[in-house]
Amino acid sequence: MSTNATPGEVPEDLTKRVTSFVDHQVIPVEHEIETDRELLARLRGAARAAGVFAPSAPTEYGGLGLSMREQADVLEESGRSLLGPLVMNCAAPDEGNMTLLEHVATPAQRERYLRPLAAGDARSAFAMTEPAPGAGSDPGTLTTRAVRDGGDWLIDGRKWFITGADGAAFFIVMAGTGADAATMFLVDAGTPGLSVGRHIPTIDAGFTGGHCEVVFDRCRVPSSAVLGEVDRGFANAQVRLGPARLTHCMRWLGVARRAHEIMLGYVVKRELFGSRLADLGLAQHLIADNEIDIAASRSLIRTTAATLDERGRANHETSIAKTFVSEAVGRIVDRSVQLCGGQGVSHDLPLARFLAEVRPFRIYDGASEVHRWSVARRAVRRYEATRTGGTTHG
Amino acid sequence: MSTNATPGEVPEDLTKRVTSFVDHQVIPVEHEIETDRELLARLRGAARAAGVFAPSAPTEYGGLGLSMREQADVLEESGRSLLGPLVMNCAAPDEGNMTLLEHVATPAQRERYLRPLAAGDARSAFAMTEPAPGAGSDPGTLTTRAVRDGGDWLIDGRKWFITGADGAAFFIVMAGTGADAATMFLVDAGTPGLSVGRHIPTIDAGFTGGHCEVVFDRCRVPSSAVLGEVDRGFANAQVRLGPARLTHCMRWLGVARRAHEIMLGYVVKRELFGSRLADLGLAQHLIADNEIDIAASRSLIRTTAATLDERGRANHETSIAKTFVSEAVGRIVDRSVQLCGGQGVSHDLPLARFLAEVRPFRIYDGASEVHRWSVARRAVRRYEATRTGGTTHG
Amino acid sequence: MSTNATPGEVPEDLTKRVTSFVDHQVIPVEHEIETDRELLARLRGAARAAGVFAPSAPTEYGGLGLSMREQADVLEESGRSLLGPLVMNCAAPDEGNMTLLEHVATPAQRERYLRPLAAGDARSAFAMTEPAPGAGSDPGTLTTRAVRDGGDWLIDGRKWFITGADGAAFFIVMAGTGADAATMFLVDAGTPGLSVGRHIPTIDAGFTGGHCEVVFDRCRVPSSAVLGEVDRGFANAQVRLGPARLTHCMRWLGVARRAHEIMLGYVVKRELFGSRLADLGLAQHLIADNEIDIAASRSLIRTTAATLDERGRANHETSIAKTFVSEAVGRIVDRSVQLCGGQGVSHDLPLARFLAEVRPFRIYDGASEVHRWSVARRAVRRYEATRTGGTTHG
Amino acid sequence: MSTNATPGEVPEDLTKRVTSFVDHQVIPVEHEIETDRELLARLRGAARAAGVFAPSAPTEYGGLGLSMREQADVLEESGRSLLGPLVMNCAAPDEGNMTLLEHVATPAQRERYLRPLAAGDARSAFAMTEPAPGAGSDPGTLTTRAVRDGGDWLIDGRKWFITGADGAAFFIVMAGTGADAATMFLVDAGTPGLSVGRHIPTIDAGFTGGHCEVVFDRCRVPSSAVLGEVDRGFANAQVRLGPARLTHCMRWLGVARRAHEIMLGYVVKRELFGSRLADLGLAQHLIADNEIDIAASRSLIRTTAATLDERGRANHETSIAKTFVSEAVGRIVDRSVQLCGGQGVSHDLPLARFLAEVRPFRIYDGASEVHRWSVARRAVRRYEATRTGGTTHG
């Protein structure tokens, strides 16, 4: 998505460098992340040294400026450790926020918000989702409002499941500014009226800064805080949502591959009924189904990434990819757990952790059912528009 | 399975009493179990008062002496709280050990081990599973050995995933005593040479006493510790394994029903796109699939329970039921999580916990793949034995 | 459902007699049905001689008067040949029409219509389904109308997918007689204004008399033709619809078991990679899944049949059973085809024929999607009615 | 795969031209193919005029010389009519045989066999599969043998499921010529000792020339009949098998898309419960699942085609694609049938025909289970070769 990147062939060297970096520098120490407070900083230094830091960020802000198609390979590799995307500064929500800022922010905003984000000096959050009856999967029900007050805006409302909120340097906030219109605002942490509440205790723990409740209580921001145009918040956010869905897929596919590799490492060693588990039919069809799900997910991600690079927007395609990949990733990790038996559900292997980490992916960023509903509606509309065979043609 | 019970119609009053007990006495306080140390004792008193205590135990030991068919209804109801089976003293592994002791133990052993178990005064463990390359799903590879030493036996070996080991008053230990023969022993906690090691950190937390590593190091027991006959351990254990598989199904189906109920409570309140979630097609097919899986699981459990009551043994049928129900329960809880969206994967609802609790059920007591392998082999053998249409006839 | 029958244990002798009859008298000649015009009559004679004729019909009309629970076993066995139910006079739609007439018809109507049906001297049809925009899965849109004309009724409308219409001696016709009310009429073949049109060319060919278009053009019938009460057609038809759904399940499960048996016969003989196909893991999990689907379907059918015997009506339960069993039967036949490879999709084995015969079962008598929609709505309503845990309790 | 083609971007004009040709020239008359004997010749003339004839054949033989990646789009479009590939001369088995001849044949063989094939003047067959206990999915058990006799070869053996055999001008025959070695031979129809037997009556009818039994009884061919090198038959055949698997996927995906389009045409018109079926949730999730399966299949086909263009061989990848796509195509057609209800299973729509046509695709060219077995074995071998994270990396 970077304007610096020419879509096309992926630099194979880079992908290999990422694989090697994750295999040799990240995975061996990933279990130390909770005890070694210096680890992240050290690893980020190593990532910079290896030339794999900030793959999605524009080159003028120090990133690698990769196209979506190029990110497909690199982010998948980064995802083979839960820690990889964080270390390489291509984790959600920062990675998606960089894309958004790159395309929608003013030069001044980019300097102030994008530069530290790309450098890994700050974290950010995207504050859109609200508790019922507010905007969850249905943005039309947004209850957070922003009203003009002199030259400023006053924001009021409640958000939740705001990933990375605890410790974020700034928030991109979606607030209603008209009957059916919304506007995005850049709000610095510490702004009076903005408070970050509890971490919602979810089964995943892989996102720095948690999934938090955030309250805006007469939170005053200047007019320069508007990101993009007033009343164009939903349209502008699309620049982020489609690509962010897809980069999620890339990273989670990395997790799934790691699970598959751990399982292969187990089944080639474990004996059952006098054979290696790897050679028993009862295991082989699960192994094969994993390979099939990995190949299909990867093809769909790469094809959709190329489409995004070409067209800039591909909501139908990213909905399809997100739905398929989130479910495939769940199946892959589940089969890997199953084949590792009792160890699969114990914390002696990381698979049980992966199982909890990937489950919410079928819900976050639009539940599978909501995406299916959108996909069906678009399919029907396209069919009606053409009344030809071209409906499903890509 | 109790010798006291006449298989037949289930006392409807009892089932209703259990439902009411779980709804009004257990569920309202279940979240306090980790903080209120007196809670379990109080609830067990209430269970006795309500006449729902120890449904599987023989009447002469103070239990309700229910047949398997009768237990099907009662244990399902008990399972609607993760705490229910523990409170009602029909949780694994004690419930299965009571069955085993009732059928295989000597009168003296019953008095010493079954009586306190039935009364809820002691807990127990069944020590069969071993770490690789020992006996997991393949009992032929048992590495724990018992050898005669004078009038005693000396047991040596390592076990793991021994449910309830921490705090168990005694262990039923499977140890090899011949080329292809094994023997069960009753070993008191505290016997020199028996040590309970770490709790294997698994994703489920619902079993009191954990899943532990247990080591036998020249652990000496008298000949009166033999449970059943010498060298007949595997055959005798069948008395336990088939029924224990099925009572697992009963309790887990209760968990699945509870998840379904919690989800229904959510979808009738949550609005999406201007309708109740409960009325949207995107939710309805998941709700219906839950109802179908619940009905099919329950029918299969009841039918198989009746077969066990009639025949005493039904390995093919319990393998089928365990495989189907463990997978159906997983699907039901997963759909319930999905329909509750972000809350489904948060600990604001108990669904996320249920998800972790039920996942190992597809692995414990024989992984689905191993049961499928047995089921296929038996189906083929039966076909060959008859060469008629009677293969799958029940 | 017969009033003569006492629900309870199934006479095992009868089931065995049916198995033997189908194995030794029907299956060996089933392929001759299209060339040997006397075959059916001969086989029906044999069925009478074997005491397996008309199992669903009341004893006073010459049938066996079996309860639903008893029919579960007998009709499953009959279904192991596509010809079995026809030979034994328990095929659709006659079997369901007998149930309806037994419960709703006047004594005179029973004598005139039920007696020859039970004796196998006449066939019948149930004319409810209409082409769009009429009543398919949605009875509220019934377009066939009956209006009083003197003491008579005049029926006008179009029906289609009327099973068995070609050659039926009489039709049970559902016609609108009020705003939301409908009435059933008994209309003799040959009545002026009633014409049977083309056989709709469907992929199944197992129903005698086809699935036809039927037109009513000022078709005059006397008031004695009313079956049940005027304006109570839908309510009265429920007596037929629930049980008929379930007897379909019984017969189709028989087809599925036959497919499974044919497949077992193939895999024990066929060698692949130096082993019997039956012993290869790649086959075993399909064999096991068939066994599981057969066991789950059978349990669900028997349990639901017992519920129908007890309560007389069980729409929720029969919807669930029909949905599950129709899909399970499809899976079982499909896996059987798959394991027989090229022969599975050739007409050298009957499996390819079975595949076509069972596919419409997921559509006829209410498509799976419509049943799921009803099941979900009922589940939600029950939940709201109780607000207790009793929702899914049976 | 053509040596003339430069892999890369697909000429969009060509794809559109094919879509238009199929929509306007083929689909409107496809139902006349069995009655109008001149139709095929006329349509082929139109295909030549439209510049869409023989897309896979090399340009020097009059074809379009498309790469695999380019064929992916064009063959998918051709497949939207069962007649399309035949009309455009890119149907199996000729299309695969052209690929094989192009790469393995001598110049003289190409002139004699490839030229008329590419021109559409002759049909061909590939004779490898044998009845049990011969070579089905397991080439190691080949029983057809060829032995030298003077300068000639004598071929003896039985083949079956030989697609297109009836009317083929020549056969490419795989025969054993050593312990583990086989050789391919070009055998003209009419050669003494070669006889084409019965058409095996399969559920699909879309292949001209049927699936036949073929017998070789001392069938004498000169040494110039050897295709490729002696004893290198299996290795040489790989040139055909991988690509042929994938072009099957392309054509069948076209069938699936056509089914999806017909279904969309139905659901936008049909009313149920007062709404268009297209707008009901019970239909939307099936529509969405079709869109997802189409997108995933297409991505996998295109990615695998590009890999074949790059590497020339990709057995692992084509096994994965064939397994996934054959199953996805089955699901898509099945859902389309389901949504069209009674009409879906009637021959008033072509869907029922499609259902029968696509079912064998999960068996032909290697059953899903055999491909899964190969995929698992390769996955394990690759893992063992690397012991790194690179196992599943593509």
User: What is residue B9's predicted lDDT score, i.e. its pLDDT?
Assistant: 52
- B286 Cα to chain D: minimum distance (Å): 11
Name the CATH topology of C234-392.
Answer: Butyryl-CoA Dehydrogenase, subunit A; domain 3 (1.20.140)
Domains A12-105 and A124-227 share a fold: no
The answer for residues whose C-beta is within 8 angstroms of residue C343's C-beta and 6 or more apart is C266, C349, C351
Q: Helix crossing, C315-339 with C233-267: angle to 10°?
A: 20
- Which superfamily does CATH assign the domain made up of A124-227 to? Butyryl-CoA Dehydrogenase, subunit A, domain 2 (2.40.110.10)
Q: How far apart are the C-alpha atoms of A42 and A45, rounded to whole Å?
A: 5
Q: How far apart are the C-alpha atoms of A121 and B342, rounded to whole Å?
A: 30
The answer for residues whose C-beta is within 8 angstroms of residue A385's C-beta and 6 or more apart is none
Interface of D with C in 42-61 (CB under 8 A): none
Counting one residue from chain B and one from chain D, the pairs whose CB atoms sit within 8 A come to 16
For chain D, say whether A281 makes contact (Cβ under 8 Å): yes
Calculate mean pLDDT across residues C205-226: 95
DSSP per residue, B112-136: IIIHHHHHTS--EEEE---STTS-S
Calculate mean pLDDT across residues B132-159: 88
Give A-chain residues touching B347 at CB under 8 angstroms. Answer: 201-203
Residues forming beta bridges with residue D184, ordered by sequence position:
D174, D227
Give C-chain residues touching B393 at CB under 8 angstroms. Answer: 19, 257
For chain B, say whether A282 makes contact (Cβ under 8 Å): yes
pLDDT above 90 (res B243): yes
Q: Which of B277, B284, B339 to mutate to test the interface with D (most CBs of D within 10 A)?
A: B284
- A291 Cα to chain B: minimum distance (Å): 18
Q: Which of C285, C287, C335, C369 to mutate to test the interface with A (most CBs of A within 10 A)?
A: C285
Q: How far apart are the C-alpha atoms of C382 and C140, rounded to whole Å?
A: 23
Residues forming beta bridges with residue B159, ordered by sequence position:
B214
Counting one residue from chain A and one from chain B, the pairs whose CB atoms sit within 8 A come to 119
Closest CA to C246 of C282, C193, C297: C297
Every domain of chain A and the residues it spans: 12-105, 124-227, 234-392
Which residue among A23, A371, A394 sits closest to D298, beta carbon to beta carbon?
A394
Residue type, C106: T
User: What is residue B318's predicted lDDT score, i.e. its pLDDT?
Assistant: 97
User: What is residue D386's predicted lDDT score, i.e. its pLDDT?
Assistant: 85
Q: How far apart are the C-alpha atoms of B286 and B294, rounded to whole Å?
A: 12
Element (H, E) at C370: helix C368-386
User: pLDDT-derived band of residue A394, with 50, 70 and 90 as boundaries?
Assistant: very low
- C16 Cα to chain B: minimum distance (Å): 10
CA Rg, chain B, in Å?
A: 21
Q: How far apart are the C-alpha atoms of D332 and D339, rounded to whole Å?
A: 11
For chain A, say whether D371 makes contact (Cβ under 8 Å): yes
Q: How far apart are the C-alpha atoms of A119 and C122, rounded to whole Å?
A: 86
pTM for the complete prediction?
0.95
For chain D, say whether B280 makes contact (Cβ under 8 Å): yes
Within 10 angstroms of residue C97's Cβ, the number of other Cβ atoms is 26
For chain C, say whether D356 makes contact (Cβ under 8 Å): yes
User: What is residue A35's predicted lDDT score, i.e. its pLDDT?
Assistant: 87
pLDDT above 50 (res C359): yes
Which residue among D372, D388, D391 sits closest to A285, beta carbon to beta carbon?
D372
User: What is residue D136's predicted lDDT score, i.e. its pLDDT?
Assistant: 67
Look at phi and psi of residue A80 and say left if phi exceeds 0, alpha if psi is from -120 to 50, else beta: alpha
In chain D, which residue's Cα lies nearest the Cα of C373? Answer: D282
- CB spacing of B203 vs A282 below 8 angstroms: no
Q: How far apart are the C-alpha atoms of A390 and C28, rounded to whole Å?
A: 51
- Tokens read off for A215: 């309250």
Give the burial string for C159-175 (b: 16+ CB within 10 Å, else e). bbbbbbbbebebbbbbb
Which residue among A345, A362, A367 sits closest to B203, beta carbon to beta carbon?
A345
Cα–Cα distances in Å, from D36 out to A2, D28, D350?
Answer: 57, 13, 19
Interface of B with A in 78-137 (CB under 8 A): 129, 132-133, 136-137
For chain A, say whether D159 makes contact (Cβ under 8 Å): no
Give D-chain residues touching C356 at CB under 8 angstroms. Answer: 203, 356
User: pLDDT tens across A77-135, in order?
Assistant: 999 999 999 999 999 999 999 999 999 999 999 999 999 999 999 999 999 999 988 77
For chain D, say whether A302 makes contact (Cβ under 8 Å): yes
**What sections of A156-232 are H helices per DSSP?**
none
Residue type, D214: V
User: pLDDT tens across A276-302, in order?
Assistant: 999 999 899 999 999 999 999 999 999
For chain C, say whether B147 makes contact (Cβ under 8 Å): no
- CB spacing of D282 vs B280 below 8 angstroms: no
User: pLDDT-derived band of residue C7, with 50, 70 and 90 as boundaries?
Assistant: very low
Residue type, D393: H
User: pLDDT tens across C288-335, in order?
Assistant: 999 999 999 999 999 999 999 999 889 999 999 999 999 999 999 999
User: In tens digits, what is the pLDDT along chain D, a chain of 394 residues?
Assistant: 343 444 445 677 999 999 999 999 999 999 998 888 899 999 999 999 999 999 999 999 999 999 999 999 999 999 999 999 999 999 999 999 999 999 999 999 999 999 999 999 999 999 999 998 877 666 678 999 999 999 999 999 999 999 999 999 999 999 999 888 999 999 999 999 999 999 999 999 888 899 999 999 999 999 999 999 999 999 899 888 889 999 999 999 999 999 999 999 999 999 888 899 999 998 999 999 999 999 999 999 999 999 999 998 899 999 999 999 999 999 999 999 999 999 999 999 999 999 999 999 999 999 999 999 999 999 999 999 987 544 333 3
3-state DSSP assignment of residue B80: coil
User: pLDDT tens across A296-322, in order?
Assistant: 999 999 999 999 999 988 999 999 999
For chain B, say whether C389 makes contact (Cβ under 8 Å): yes
For chain B, say whether C298 makes contact (Cβ under 8 Å): yes
SS (H, E, C) A227-257: ECCCCCHHHHHHHHHHHHHHHHHHHHHHHHH
User: What is residue B394's predicted lDDT score, i.e. its pLDDT?
Assistant: 33
pLDDT above 60 (res C393): no
User: pLDDT tens across A9-30, in order?
Assistant: 567 799 999 999 999 999 999 9
Q: How far apart are the C-alpha atoms of A84 and A30, rounded to whole Å?
A: 9
For chain D, say whether B282 makes contact (Cβ under 8 Å): yes
pLDDT above 90 (res A140): no
Name the CATH topology of D12-105.
Answer: Butyryl-Coa Dehydrogenase, subunit A; domain 1 (1.10.540)
Name the CATH topology of D234-386.
Answer: Butyryl-CoA Dehydrogenase, subunit A; domain 3 (1.20.140)
Please provide the size of chain B in residues: 394
Give C-chain residues touching B369 at CB under 8 angstroms. Answer: 285
For chain A, say whether C276 makes contact (Cβ under 8 Å): no
In chain A, which residue's Cα lies nearest the Cα of D281? Answer: A373
User: pLDDT tens across C97-126, in order?
Assistant: 999 999 999 999 999 999 999 999 999 999
User: What is residue B3's predicted lDDT score, i.e. its pLDDT?
Assistant: 39
* Contact (Cβ atoms closer than 8 angstroms) between residue C124 and residue C171: yes
For chain D, say whether C337 makes contact (Cβ under 8 Å): yes
Give B-chain residues touching A271 at CB under 8 angstroms. Answer: 132-133, 141
**What sections of A172-232 are H helices per DSSP?**
none
Give the angle D6-D10-D11 at the CA atoms, nearest 5°.
Answer: 100
SS (H, E, C) chain D: CCCCCCCCCCCHHHHHHHHHHHHHHHHHHHHHCCCCCCHHHHHHHHHHHCCCCCCCCCHHHCCCCCCHHHHHHHHHHHCCCCCHHHHCCCCCCHHHHHHHHHHHCCHHHHHHHHHHHHHCCCCEEEECCCCCCCCCCCHHHCCCEEEEECCEEEEEEEEEEEECCCCCCEEEEEEECCCCCEEEEEEECCCCCEEEEEECCECCCCCCCCEEEEEEEEEEEEHHHEECCCCCHHHHHHHHHHHHHHHHHHHHHHHHHHHHHHHHHHHCCCEECCEEHHHCHHHHHHHHHHHHHHHHHHHHHHHHHHHHHHHCCCHHHHHHHHHHHHHHHHHHHHHHHHHCHHHHCECCCCHHHHHHHHHHHHCCCCCHHHHHHHHHHHHHHHHHHHCCCCCCCC
- CB spacing of D356 vs C360 below 8 angstroms: no
pLDDT above 80 (res B80): yes
- CB spacing of B264 vs C379 below 8 angstroms: yes
Cα–Cα distances in Å, from B298 out to B1, B83, C392?
Answer: 18, 21, 11
- D294 Cα to chain B: minimum distance (Å): 20
Within 10 angstroms of residue A49's Cβ, the number of other Cβ atoms is 11
Backbone angles phi and psi of C265, in degrees to 5: -60, -30
- D355 Cα to chain C: minimum distance (Å): 9
Q: How far apart are the C-alpha atoms of C336 and C255, rounded to whole Å?
A: 11
Counting one residue from chain A and one from chain D, the pairs whose CB atoms sit within 8 A come to 168
Within 10 angstroms of residue B248's Cβ, the number of other Cβ atoms is 25
- CB spacing of D288 vs A23 below 8 angstroms: no
Backbone angles phi and psi of A360, in degrees to 5: -65, -15
Residue type, A8: G
Cis amide prior to B243 (ω within 30 degrees): no
Give the burial string for C359-373 (b: 16+ CB within 10 Å, else e). bbbbbbbbbbbbbbb
For chain A, say whether D320 makes contact (Cβ under 8 Å): yes
Give D-chain residues touching B280 at CB under 8 angstroms. Answer: 281
Cα–Cα distances in Å, from A211 out to A168, A234, C119, D171?
Answer: 12, 22, 71, 65
- CB spacing of C372 vs B289 below 8 angstroms: yes
- B374 Cα to chain A: minimum distance (Å): 11
pLDDT above 50 (res A2): no
- The dihedral through the CA atoms of C279, C349, D365, D330 has a sign that is negative
pLDDT above 60 (res C4): no
Counting one residue from chain B and one from chain C, the pairs whose CB atoms sit within 8 A come to 168
The answer for residues whose C-beta is within 8 angstroms of residue D385's C-beta and 6 or more apart is none
- CB spacing of A285 vs C281 below 8 angstroms: yes
Give C-chain residues touching A273 at CB under 8 angstroms. Answer: none
pLDDT above 70 (res A393): no
Residue C32 CB burial class (10 angstroms; 0-12, 13-18, ≥19): exposed
Q: Which of D279, D285, D289, D372 to mutate to test the interface with B (most CBs of B within 10 A)?
A: D285
- CB spacing of C285 vs A281 below 8 angstroms: yes
Give C-chain residues touching D272 at CB under 8 angstroms. Answer: 136-138
* Contact (Cβ atoms closer than 8 angstroms) between residue A255 and residue A266: no
For chain C, say whether D241 makes contact (Cβ under 8 Å): no
Average confidence score pLDDT of chain C:
93
Which residue among A265, A281, A300 sits closest to D299, beta carbon to beta carbon?
A300
Cα–Cα distances in Å, from D281 out to A374, B277, C63, C223, D265?
Answer: 11, 12, 44, 43, 17
- The dihedral through the CA atoms of B80, B83, B88, B89 has a sign that is positive
Helix, strand, coil tally for chain B in percent (to 5): 55, 15, 30
Which residue among B267, B285, B392 sits closest to C372, beta carbon to beta carbon?
B285
Distance of CA C46 to the CA centre of its chain: 23
DSSP per residue, C119-177: HTS--EEEE---STTS-SS-GGG---EEEEETTEEEEEEEEEEEET-TT-SEEEEEEE-
